[in-house]
Amino acid sequence: MNEFELIARLTKSLPANKNVLVGAGDDCAVLNLGAAENLLLFKTDAVVEGVHFTKATPPEKIGRKALARCLSDIAAMAGTPVAALVTLGLPEKFEPEFIGKIYDGLNMLAKQHSVAIVGGETTTNPGRIFLSIALLGTVARGKQVLRSGARTGDAIFVTGELGGSLAEKHLEFEPRLEEARWLAEHFSIHAMIDLSDGLAGDLRHVLKASGVGAELLKGAIPVSRAAKAGSSRCDDRTAQRAVPARKTPLAAALTDGEDFELLFTVAGSDAVPLLDAWKKQFSKLKLSCIGKIVAGDGVILRDKTGARKLDTHGYVHFEK
């Protein structure tokens, strides 16, 4: 049983109530708690020593990453983060100075995005640090972007460049909050997700939620310099996410994960106007149209030699 199978089993029949607009299965839960203008976004995410970082990771970057991952999920709904709680599991012996620096990194990113840290908890977790963030955000009613809205004929976009994130970027990425809000404000974004499991895996989440398929243009996928340099290089050598050495740069871009870029779809007729407007608004951040939504299911990869079904998956926890 892998991570996704376990989650499918655990989330089969969860308790719901009238406040829930979107429950498990999207980047954030969406709740209606009675505010006239806003809906609530609710998300948790954890980083664990030996899994997402190591003893050698600079502590400020551990704290920063933990919050940044949640911020990226708020971005994927086109929302604005508001307040976070920090749950910290600590081994029996720990360095208060190290823990203080985890908070420094976390607090610095929180201030940058006007996120309040409103408490949390410390508890014991023998053997390793476990750091979980619970994040609340808001989104203007009707402006939330789900995974489920992709339609046949949509153009598929990704921000930035993909692959090789474990070399460095996974500790330093910028959550695309401003970009996502701008997109939702100026265009009808049909579906959006943040790339945490890898393009191949996360695109499949969108396709499954929307009941459609996708055709990607191989040459249009923005492969990062780190992916080209060899995705086997990884600062966190003991991290369980370390990737096999012989991935091609394209495979790295498709499957490495932890890119924390945005993938979204818009009507095909919006593609060119969107690209033009984006270049004026965010001249420093690449935006790539990588393909289109098609009828059916799954992902087809097309290059000049033809088209083939892509069977590559993103990173999957707990593979047995």
Residues 189-248 that bind a copy of itself (CB under 8 A): 240
Measuring CA to CA, which residue among 298, 292, 295, 297 is closest to residue 267?
Answer: 292
Is position 316 an interface residue for a copy of itself (rule: CB under 8 A)?
A: no
Applying CB under 8 A, the span of 48-56, 141-149, 180-188, 267-275 interacting with a copy of itself comes to: 48-56
Total number of residues that touch a copy of itself (CB under 8 A): 74
Q: Which two tokens stand for residue 284?
A: 């420093």
Q: Which CB atom, from 55 or from 317, has the smaller least distance to a copy of itself?
A: 317
Q: Which CB atom, from 114 or from 188, has the smaller least distance to a copy of itself?
A: 114
Is position 148 an interface residue for a copy of itself (rule: CB under 8 A)?
A: no
Measuring CA to CA, which residue among 71, 212, 76 is closest to residue 149?
Answer: 212
Query: Which residues inside 95-114 make contact with a copy of itself, applying CB under 8 A?
Result: 96, 99-100, 103, 107, 110-111, 114
CA distance 231 to 252: 6
Q: Which CB atom, from 85 or from 242, has the smaller least distance to a copy of itself?
A: 85
> Residue 163 — left, alpha, or beta (φ > 0 → left; ψ -120 to 50 → alpha)?
left
Residue labelled with tokens 């608004």: 281
Is position 319 an interface residue for a copy of itself (rule: CB under 8 A)?
A: no
Contacts of 70 (CB under 8 A, 6+ apart): 43, 44, 45, 81, 84, 133, 134, 135
CA distance 54 to 64: 14
Applying CB under 8 A, the span of 16-24, 157-165, 186-194, 300-308 interacting with a copy of itself comes to: 16-24
Q: Which CB atom, from 94 or from 244, has the smaller least distance to a copy of itself?
A: 94
Is position 121 an interface residue for a copy of itself (rule: CB under 8 A)?
A: yes
Is position 85 an interface residue for a copy of itself (rule: CB under 8 A)?
A: yes
Contact with a copy of itself (CB under 8 A) among 15, 280, 305, 309: 15
Q: Which CB atom, from 43 or from 205, has the smaller least distance to a copy of itself?
A: 43
Q: Which two tokens stand for residue 277?
A: 């407007």
For residue 87, the SS3 value is strand
Measuring CA to CA, which residue among 242, 124, 110, 263 is closest to residue 194?
Answer: 263
Is position 8 an interface residue for a copy of itself (rule: CB under 8 A)?
A: no
CA distance 163 to 41: 28
Is position 315 an interface residue for a copy of itself (rule: CB under 8 A)?
A: no
Q: Minimum distance between the CB of residue 32 and a copy of itself, rounded to whole angstroms?
A: 10
Is position 83 an interface residue for a copy of itself (rule: CB under 8 A)?
A: yes
Q: Which CB atom, from 87 or from 159, has the smaller least distance to a copy of itself?
A: 87
Is position 90 an interface residue for a copy of itself (rule: CB under 8 A)?
A: yes
CA distance 260 to 269: 26
